[in-house]
Structure 1
């Protein structure tokens, strides 16, 4: 595998991990805001929070 391809694969893995963490954090924040205004979400049972 070339160095360029290795860097690209590494970057994709980092992006996937970052985006997964970012999306999870964002979803949790949305759930908290909705619960504060009295709206229940179905995400709590799916995400495990």
Structure 2
């Protein structure tokens, strides 16, 4: 049985351009379509689920 590392099961969204990880309180799916990466300014479309 694996240890209790709950973080490994958490879905993360990462900007595919600059590798910034979204860690906001709002679920990523609920962000507006015009959401932009705060680091590189790319749109939500370039984020990948990890």
Q: Quick check: TM above 0.5?
A: no
Greater C-alpha Rg: 1
Q: Which has the higher contact order (CA 8 A, sep 6+)?
A: 2
Question: What is the TM-score when the length of structure 2 is the normalising length?
Answer: 0.32
